[in-house]
Amino acid sequence: MNIKELVFGSYLKAEKYLNGFDSSTRDLALTQNLFQELGISFSRWPRVVVTGSKGKGSTAVMLASILAASGEKVGLVTSPELRRFNERIRINGVCVSDEDLEQAAKEIAPTVHPIVSEILPPKYLGPGGIILALAAKIFIKRQVTVVVIEAGRGGEHDESRLVAANVSIITPIMLKHSAKIGPTLKDIARTKTYIAAPGSIIVSASQEPAIKKVISEVAGKLSASLFFVDESVKISRVKIENESTLCNLQIDGDKYNNLELALIGSHQVENAATAILAARALKKFGAKCTREGIYTGVLQVRWPGRCQVLQKNPWVFLDGAINKTSAKLFMQNINSLSANKITAVLSIHTEKDLEGVCSVIAKLVDNIILTEVHTTGLLWNKNALLKIASKYFKNVVYISSVNEAFDFAKKKAKKDEGIILLGHQSFVGAALGYWDVDTSTLW
């Protein structure tokens, strides 16, 4: 069975009609109907949904790792995949098998196809809902005990809202997907917060004051308990050392000193604090969260393509930073890596974002290679991108083929130099494939 066609077929038929906000094109009633006909209810599990604009994946993975290290069998749903579709559904960090995925697809296909056949564009049966249906079938079969789900771009109109999570996490809100979610930061924050179920718990990362106000207002309307990390967790003694991050955390009098995170970056401390706060909150709903599980969970986790060292001599550092804000966070980690010269390979298609990234990395980077990844919705204006990069760098090379760009960078770099790779998820996946990084297991 063609699983990608099953998952994305309805969306692809409607794609060219999808103008305007998600509120007019995404119909959760269709997914709700799918769940009902399949007899799927996520209420059988303690469950967390993670939304936000930045750090969703890292936070979800650390949370899943903490719960697994505490003794739970954790079903994890993330997106998008980097190398294989199976990465979207994992149990205790390991991708589900082709056999389990194929069997789940056979079980849901007879229900999916009739629903899809009756839908007229611009309506569509969301891929996220179909993936959740696949995951639920597999999680039941494999006797999962707790579920963690990374939401798509939305909140109120995202299929993961139907999970009715016990705990909803909101990572930092940024002005992303404004054409689909809402034109302002406040609109985006409001939409994302409505992923929470009435009477549930919301755990939010630190946010700007105006965003905090919006989240608090929505939480009040939902009668949801609300915890902000900057108000609930005391973070201190943060430092990056030997390709890991060290810190001290204090939550409600409980101290977690010398906490070592496998993920690199001061921003990962905030993600870890958010994950720990959520794991502790989930105990109220029957999930295990132990002190040892917290220490082990944040130390054992891998998250391919996020501030990841792919090789040494010359060192190669990969991340999905594609705007000024995320580039600033990424560059904080470069200071610990010495190099006589640094080359950057960038795959960023929007002129504004490329300019933001170039303005941040210009102080440390000597040479720039621009490249492309060809995936749905990305358009590349070579001349415009070259013009922007040339404002910040004397040596700019444009190589359309991403693998040829990697070849060129490796050939030119000496052992005492460094290479940074920054770009969209498809670019990150291409880099992981080029360096043959195993993405099948996260711990």
Structure tokens at 26: 């995404």
CA dist 21 and 259 (Å) reads 42
Give me the pLDDT at residue 376, please.
64
Give me the pLDDT at residue 143, please.
98
CA dist 219 and 216 (Å) reads 5
pLDDT, tens only, 56-91:
999 999 999 999 999 999 999 999 899 999 999 999
DSSP type of residue 161: G
Backbone φ and ψ of 274, nearest 5°: -65, -45
Give me the pLDDT at residue 76, please.
98
CA dist 370 and 120 (Å) reads 40
The answer to whether 45 and 73 have CB atoms below 8 angstroms apart is no
Q: Which residues in the chain land under pLDDT 70?
A: 336, 376-377
Return the axis-axis angle of helices 56-69 and 266-282, rounded to nearest 10°. Answer: 50
Burial 380-392 (b: 16+ CB within 10 A, else e): beeeebeebbeeb
Q: How far is CA 397 from the centre of its chain?
A: 30
pLDDT, tens only, 253-304:
999 999 999 998 888 999 999 999 999 999 999 999 999 999 999 999 999 9
Closest among 114, 185, 189, 197 to 149, alpha carbons compared: 197
What's the mean per-residue pLDDT of the chain? 94
User: In order of start, what are the domains of the chain with their CATH numbers?
Assistant: 3-300 (3.40.1190.10), 308-434 (3.90.190.20)
H helix runs in 362-401, sequence order:
382-392
How many Cβ atoms are within 10 Å of 227's Cβ, its own excluded? 19
Please list the residues that pair with 367 across neighbouring strands: 343, 395
Closest among 422, 198, 182 to 310, alpha carbons compared: 422
Closest among 303, 375, 300, 312 to 338, alpha carbons compared: 312
The fraction of the chain above a pLDDT of 70, given in percent, is: 99
* Measured torsion, CA atoms of residues 380, 382, 386, 387, in degrees rounded to the nearest 10: -90
The answer to whether 256 and 248 have CB atoms below 8 angstroms apart is yes
CA dist 147 and 2 (Å) reads 26
Closest among 338, 339, 346, 294 to 319, alpha carbons compared: 346
The answer to whether 96 and 89 have CB atoms below 8 angstroms apart is yes
Please list the residues that pair with 247 across neighbouring strands: 259
pTM of the shown model: 0.92
Question: Counting beta carbons within 10 angstroms of the beta carbon of residue 362, is it exposed (0 to 12), middle (13 to 18) or buried (19 or more)?
Answer: middle
How many Cβ atoms are within 10 Å of 64's Cβ, its own excluded? 33
CA dist 129 and 110 (Å) reads 15
How many Cβ atoms are within 10 Å of 394's Cβ, its own excluded? 8
Please list the residues that pair with 167 across neighbouring strands: 48, 201
